[in-house]
Amino acid sequence: MGQGPTGTTLTNARLLTPNGVRAGWLRSEDQRITALGTGEAPQSDGEAVDAGGRWVMPGAVDIHIHGGTGAAFTDADPERTMRIVEFNRSQGVTTLLGGLVAAAPSDTLDQIAALAEVAEAGGIAGVYLEGPYIAPGKCGAHDPALLRDPDTAEFARMLKAGRGQVRMITVAPELPGALELIRAAVSEGVVAAVGHTEATYDQTRAAFDAGATVATHIYNQMRPLHHREPGPIAAALNDERVTVELINDGVHVHPGAARLVFDNAGGDRVALITDAMSATGLGDGEYTLGKLRVRVEDGRARIAETGQIASSTIVLPDAVRRAVHTMGVSLETAAHAATSVPARALNLSGVGSLTAGGKADLLLLDDDLSVAGVMHEGTWIRRP
């Protein structure tokens, strides 16, 4: 149901703004937030919607997601890609990247080109490459036969296929040519992330010094933390330049370890992600991730042949709710971790923050933090 041309005023709301919680109102017009304030809303033309005292946060921003509702970004099909996008929008995720896994070189180029088409049309915020330049010993749900050492010439072909829409790439710093690849990515405006890695603390620090600024799903598929060999986990948590991704589904990371990330990286460096796969929104069964068979039981996705964890089946507001209810993180901090922090990490403008001039992407939450309403670019996807 769309708004009229004169816009919408949302009243009686608890707004999660960059400056804290404000009890008040928000005005949107022409797909943008035009004003917000405390107290009673000023009189204006257009629709007025009573939020009923609900929490209002920016639409969620998922920078690490692979699929949903039976579709995957690797399908290289714009129609199937939009199926994932529309499902996520209905759940309150109004901005997302199209995440790819390791594939053969020609397949990767076809997938990037297909996602670039959707990005150019405004469906997704860009393309994320999780691989193929990752460590075979930490490949996770990637086919090890498709992994390869960093290659700047191949990466240049990826960028050409992406037509300016490749936003981030994950690299294992210990691989030959990794630092050169990281520098090449950064020079082209692509965010370099460290992950799926056996790297030492010093090797990881070298990657950050070369320009990498994100740690891919902290803890998962990286050398574990040890007090004499701290590895990439400590390197990322100790570096103020680095945004740390966290899969907060209760499966990938224990709540105690997840809380440790928030306590050490602070509220401005943790980016909640889903790493969600095609099974999201559909329930238990057998699915594929890239070329691998994945079995989902009780919402937990595992590689059928090995039993190893493979992606998640949550949507990002689930991670926010879990952070608050299970870990004791404040709603304000958890909301920032799903909005402004990932948006800033990838230099995505106009999203992730309730500020005048930003996109009118809103997520309304009831007191139990369940989704009560969603607005995307000024249009109600789910009316409160």
8 A C-beta contact, residue 57 and residue 335 = yes
Angstrom distance (rounded) from CA 190 to CA 194: 13
275 is catalytic: yes
How far CA 355 is from CA of 20, 352, 361, in Å, comes to 12, 9, 11
**Which amino acid does the sequence have at 350?**
G
Neighbours of 61 (CB within 10 A): 30
Q: Is residue 248 within 8 Å of 319, Cβ to Cβ?
A: yes
Specify the long-range contacts of residues 114-120, CB closer than 8 Å, at least 24 apart. Answer: 114/76, 114/77, 114/78, 114/81, 115/73, 115/76, 115/81, 115/162, 115/165, 116/161, 116/162, 116/163, 116/164, 116/165, 116/166, 117/78, 118/78, 118/81, 118/82, 118/85, 119/165, 120/163, 120/165
**What phi and psi, each to the nearest 5 degrees, are found at residue 48?**
-115, 130
- H or E element: which one contains 380? strand 379-382
CA–CA dist 80, 68 (Å, integer): 10
CA-to-CA dists, residue 302 to 74, 295, 296, angstroms: 18, 5, 6
Nearest CA-CA partner of 67 in 273, 247, 277, 275: 277
Structural contact between residues 60 and 125, judged by C-beta atoms closer than 8 angstroms: no
**Non-local CB neighbours of 117 within 8 Å, separated by 6+ positions:** 78
* Angle subtended by helix axes 105-120 and 78-90, to nearest 10: 60
Active site residue: 62, 275, 318, 361, which one? 275
- How far apart are the C-alpha atoms of 312 and 219, rounded to whole Å? 15
Q: Is 117 annotated as a binding residue?
A: no
Work out the angle at residue 124's Cα, subtended by the Cα atoms of residues 118 and 129, and round it to the nearest 5 degrees: 95
217 is known to lie in a ligand binding site: yes
DSSP code of residue 151: -
Q: Is 130 annotated as a binding residue?
A: yes
Binding site members: 130, 196, 217
Active site amino acids: 275
